[in-house]
Amino acid sequence: MFASITVPAHAESVKQVRDWVGGFNSWGFDSYVARLAVSELVTNAVRHTSSSDVTIRIGQADSGTVVEVLDGSPVLPVARPLDETAVEGRGLAMLGALVKDWGAQPLSSGGKAVWALLPQGPK
């Protein structure tokens, strides 16, 4: 089962999406990591695509809880090597350190889905 929300591709939407994902914390994932992950993924979609809106999905998979961000750009993200002097470009590296796994895949309708497999929450 997946739940979804579509929001305008604006920086103001990041908080709305972060709060929306936090509402699913009874599913057992780490809510703090989920909020950080979705913030990073939506911010990337807003900053690096020309999409007018983005769709966020959260759901249960065999391997755990997955959060996905779908946008209209076919360009798949690439994590940059860490550069301590750079003022940006650390987001995907941070994401990779926080979640169990992440990746991206093209959508048959055009665009892409960038996903993160969330860790379980504290017991």
Q: What is the pLDDT of residues 4-49, one digit of tens each?
A: 999 999 999 999 999 999 999 889 999 999 999 999 999 999 999 9
Does residue 123 carry a pLDDT above 60? no
Distances (CA, A) of 65 to 50, 52, 87, 121: 28, 27, 31, 11
Does residue 86 carry a pLDDT above 70? no
Does residue 83 carry a pLDDT above 80? no
Ordered by start, the domain boundaries in the chain are: 2-117
Average pLDDT over residues 63-81: 90
- For the full predicted model, state whether its pTM sits above 0.85: yes
Q: What is the pLDDT of residue 91?
A: 79
Q: What is the pLDDT of residue 120?
A: 87
Distances (CA, A) of 31 to 18, 20, 24, 25, 122: 10, 11, 8, 6, 9
Give the CATH number of domain 2-117. 3.30.565.10
Go through the chain and tell me how many residues it has.
123
Q: How far is residue 63's CA from residue 9's CA, in Å, rounded to a whole number?
A: 29
Q: What is the pLDDT of residue 87?
A: 62
